[in-house]
Amino acid sequence: MFTGIVTDLGRVRAVEARGDSRFVFETGYDTADLAMGASVACSGACLTVVDKGAGWFAVDVSAETLSKTTLGGWQAGTPVNFERALKVGEELGGHLVSGHVDGVAPLVAAGEEGDSRRLTFEAPAELARFIAAKGSVTLDGVSLTVNEVEGRRFGVNIIPHTAAVTSLGGLAVGDRVNLEIDLVARYLQRLLEGRAQ
């Protein structure tokens, strides 16, 4: 489990084609403290550390993950938001995040609003019903509050700190992000569907 509070902004060092794809990431983490087999949220996708060295770690990514996330388009230099797994007793600063990407959402509009940046995304049709104003959503691994919803489109504000320490500050219209809906919304919808039957 994660919280959607990014603790390092790294980047892709290399992508190696194998049976699965191997991604090598540059990181500011002290990798001596990063266990083999540890889970790391990489722009929202929970991946397993399979190799590491000073200033880098590697993960293997299946074809399924490549097809369901933005990872299939990553190449050397792509910025990546990292979060290590939540430890029992740690502060829950964002919201509960599983690291299981539900879909991909394109950025359809962006503009300045005070010192913040207002971003509008379009959710896949099958996920739009899970997104509510003032609810939580995870975009590229970042926990955010939804400002408004109109059909499949929803808006969020990015404060200057978030823009500086995550990849969201560099997004341009047309860029796609990994979307994870709120776990509570998912289970509430399932409960309501069960009662309607």
pLDDT digits (tens, 9 = 90+) for 94-147: 788 999 999 999 999 999 999 999 999 999 999 999 999 999 999 999 999 999
What's the predicted TM-score (pTM) here? 0.92
Identify the CA nearest to 100 among candidates 167, 24, 42, 158. Answer: 42
Question: What amino acid is encoded at 34 in this protein?
Answer: L
Q: Cβ(39)–Cβ(86) under 8 Å?
A: no
- pLDDT the model gives residue 194: 65
Range from 9-23, 82-96, 98-112, 182-196 carrying the lowest mean pLDDT: 182-196
pLDDT digits (tens, 9 = 90+) for 155-174: 999 999 999 999 999 999 99
Intervals of CATH 2.40.30.20 along the chain: 8-84, 103-196
Phi and psi torsions of 123, nearest 5°: -80, 150
Residue 196 has pLDDT above 70, yes or no: no
Identify the CA nearest to 99 among candidates 64, 136, 142, 67. Answer: 142
> Quick one: CATH architecture of 103-196?
Beta Barrel (2.40)
DSSP state of 76: T
Distance CA(41)–CA(29), nearest Å, equals 13
| Exposure string for 133-163, b = 16+ CB within 10 A, e = fewer | eebbbbbbbbbbebeebeebbbbbbbeeebb
Tell me yes or no: is domain 8-84 CATH 3.40.50.1000.
no
Strand ranges, E, within the chain: 8-17, 21-26, 39-42, 45-53, 56-61, 79-84, 103-113, 116-122, 136-139, 142-145, 148-150, 153-158, 176-181
- Give Cβ neighbours of residue 150 (< 8 Å, ≥ 6 apart): none
Q: Residue 118: exposed, middle, or buried by beta-carbon count in 10 A (0-12, 13-18, 19+)?
A: middle
Distance CA(178)–CA(42), nearest Å, equals 10
pLDDT digits (tens, 9 = 90+) for 13-65: 999 988 899 999 999 999 999 999 999 999 999 999 999 999 999 999 999 99
Distance CA(1)–CA(109), nearest Å, equals 30
